[in-house]
Structure 1
């Protein structure tokens, strides 16, 4: 039984889930998707419709889900000590008769799957990686209910993870995400809906013709008939945003602004040189330039060979990003490439090698010899100092590059911050989040994009984006880390560090366009009177030409 009271706006989602059986729970971040899913499962358990529910989550959220089940339901609980990398954390989780969490090495996981078979607990918590790696165990669980947390994990059709998940089915299926159209692409939502309810959107070829206008190269020119798509999704989706009247009273007010960054002459000279290289490679791509999808190369599919045309474009774009963040990042990447080449010459083998050949060439060329400072780091460090001058303020700083977090940390007083990255163990990340919450002297949370999903940082009132994500969905996830119904503040702030006269303002425009597409589909807002959204963002070539 659920042990907490629901808000009125959450109750309607629970009713839809129980009634329909398959549902996309698309409430925005911070509005209580977890408690909605648990309330629906608990009702189904009481009715005898469900004996076991499998909850599939990103790896770093396994223990968070176990703690939520213990806190939000009336299951018997126990205290366990999680030890990893010399750190230990005591947490309250359900007893194994009611909830089995799959974790550990292959031998330990095999024992846990045996417990699932014997105990038939009400809850089984899996990571997406478990579904792929432990398929022969997972398929034998045969649950009556499956929850996919952060279900945009299956947005890519060809991914092995997506193919496995789509074979995992049950009478009750609930997908959860606050950003169902993560990158402004309806076709990604189609993949998710194939699992939730494949009847709603039908065949992909008909979907493509109905909602996407492509150019002669096959690239997306515009999206159309978006109100029709929104109406179709309404059959199988519950959606609430912080703009809704019944939600707004529970959330803090958000103010978003820019930390303006101006390049010094030496950094600007290096920027122009790398920009010229990038522009030349874009033009070499020929008439298909408009089809180059930078997001896809950063976040989807195989990484292109750096000697290929697309690989050359990507490496130069990454170098620009690194330069604007801090020139030392290019040097680090070049050094990693040099070390990788030496290891390969000795016969070492790896699936992927760190470092960039282009970064190595820039470093060796001497272009950065006189570029020793970072205007952006100076501006952000000054902003953090101003924020911390006010007692009680806490600030989150996000950067896509974990090495950048170390450079930011070098500018902060010892003991005043924690770091949270994908390089850390689950226990180390949990310890960092716990210390930021509990220690009043720990006032800065430095996070890579590993912290974009699932981290509840309600104790902070400022968030600084040192750089922006390419995905609008991921950026919205980041921006919502402190924008919670549980926030301790009436007003919270988002500050974006943007370097003027570079490609960074264009990224803001790209994210805004992607949000318009997503909003038109999920919220029914943003399309023109004909149901279309035109892409009015300046192309990368135009942006570089204008600089």
Structure 2
């Protein structure tokens, strides 16, 4: 296929070529992979770089970059070596003669450990830069060690700071070594933020100082460019549906009793993000219809979401349906329930499944949002999404929806959210709607439940 770059893509290509450190905050569907590959090809031709490394989420490393090279005529000559699999397979891949080396982010620590003394890559591309948003993560600390050896670095993401601008510091540090936002996250926080909700010395969130947001954007504006799909693409409409799930009296009674028991277990203890996350995780399981017991067996509570899912599939009248699920028991229950109705649902496992879906050969595809959040092109296989289980992560939510709602999609994308009334599902939907999904929202939801049950028992 011949590549005729849009004006915004040519601008991004030029930005990469002209800036040794370049951040491309491109919205989903703007073609950041082919844009980056084109820039890499130009830089290789000009002799500006010799050995580029791409770091990406596993599924993207396995499939997307090689698929894009094969797809475009001007990139067909590029040889890609995938540094994946077992240590032996990785070592063999590193020894191959190639133009571009691709690995997954979990292998960053291994790469740095094994090649630190003779770091071979003079250019690094981080596909989904926001996956390096934690300064405490091993992958960040490992890459930081070899950052001085990069002649060039490109950071790609559609969501650089979905929850807070605090997330920007590690990402920008990898781009410029701390030139713009400071050498440490502590100094960055002190300059631009003030503590928000806190419990003594524990700060739950940070709030921007007045004028700080503009100041941060100005600081990084010379090396980072941001583009929104709505400004450049004519993508079919996205239609969001909320489908209320009403539980039977017995099911809601079970839910409320389990919710009460879990909430009251916390008692007078301080509510931390850790125990709040555990609690809401269990409540989300119950909203979906089942929960893991202490011995990991599955306790069924209701089938209402399964019935609603079946209604959607039947209404689709043969059109493919993409289902996002949260827990393994969701997956198992969906597959078994649909099988009992003579319907076959399969899980996304590899690039073959992606190809089959895009050919229209998979009528019902089950995907966990964390495994398909970035870079996977599923827009050719269907236009109907069902969120069977909701996520607190705005980033995962946005990226997952963008697997269908992106450039190349021909039809309006219908996103169905199954929301069990009177449960934590409603809290998650409010948070996603407000685009304020963060730790504080989760904590507030838990605190509200504790107050509710304490008031009843007192």
Bucket of the pairwise TM-score, normalised by the shorter protein: 0.7 to 0.9
Cα distance 1:231–1:468, how it changes in 2: closer, same or farther (>3 A)? farther
For residues 411-447 of structure 1, the C-alpha deviation after alignment (integer angstroms, 9 at most, x for no partner) is 3355643212xxxxxxx4222222222244x221111
Match of 2:156 among 165, 176, 182: 176
User: d(CA) in 2 for partners of 1:216 and 1:373?
Assistant: 38
Runs (5+) with no aligned partner, structure 2: 454-458
Larger mean CA deviation between 101-110 and 146-155 belongs to: 101-110
**Is residue 2:311 matched to residue 1:405?**
no
Match of 2:85 among 84, 100, 104: 104
Match of 2:407 among 477, 481, 485: 485
Cα distance 1:477–1:24, how it changes in 2: closer, same or farther (>3 A)? same
Structure 1 contact 506–537 (Cα < 8 Å) conserved: no
Structure 1 contact 153–162 (Cα < 8 Å) conserved: no
**Which residue does the alignment assign to 1:419?**
347
For residues 451-496 of structure 1, the C-alpha deviation after alignment (integer angstroms, 9 at most, x for no partner) is 222221112111111122221111101111101111132x111111
In the comparison of the two structures, how many residue pairs are matched? 436
Deviation at 1:62, TM superposition (A): 2.2
Match of 2:364 among 435, 444, 454: 444
Match of 2:94 among 101, 113, 116: 113
Structure 1 contact 464–495 (Cα < 8 Å) conserved: yes
**TM-score, normalized by length of structure 2?**
0.87
User: d(CA) in 2 for partners of 1:226 and 1:535?
Assistant: 21
Structure 1 contact 213–223 (Cα < 8 Å) conserved: yes
Counterparts of 1:111-510 in structure 2, within 5 Å, are: 111-115=92-96, 119=97, 121-139=98-116, 140-169=118-147, 170-182=150-162, 184-197=163-176, 198-202=178-182, 203-214=184-195, 215-217=197-199, 218-220=203-205, 222-224=207-209, 225-244=212-231, 247-249=232-234, 251-286=235-270, 289=271, 292-293=272-273, 297=274, 310=275, 313-327=276-290, 330=291, 333-334=292-293, 337-338=294-295, 355=296, 373-387=302-316, 389=317, 391=318, 393-412=319-338, 416-420=344-348, 428-440=349-361, 442-449=362-369, 450-458=371-379, 459-489=381-411, 491-510=412-431
Cα distance 1:546–1:461, how it changes in 2: closer, same or farther (>3 A)? farther
User: d(CA) in 1 for partners of 2:368 and 2:357?
Assistant: 15
User: d(CA) in 2 for partners of 1:144 and 1:536?
Assistant: 42
Deviation at 1:546, TM superposition (A): 5.4
Cα distance 1:535–1:398, how it changes in 2: closer, same or farther (>3 A)? closer
Runs (5+) with no aligned partner, structure 1: 78-93, 298-309, 339-354, 421-427, 518-533
For residues 242-287 of structure 1, the C-alpha deviation after alignment (integer angstroms, 9 at most, x for no partner) is 221xx132x121111201111211121122112223332455224x
SS at structure 2 position matched to 1:25? strand
Cα distance 1:235–1:408, how it changes in 2: closer, same or farther (>3 A)? same
Structure 1 contact 211–223 (Cα < 8 Å) conserved: yes
**Which residue does the alignment assign to 1:526?**
none
**TM-score, normalized by length of structure 1?**
0.73
Structure 1 contact 402–448 (Cα < 8 Å) conserved: no
User: d(CA) in 2 for partners of 1:158 and 1:237?
Assistant: 23
User: d(CA) in 1 for partners of 2:437 and 2:427?
Assistant: 15
Structure 1 contact 56–126 (Cα < 8 Å) conserved: yes
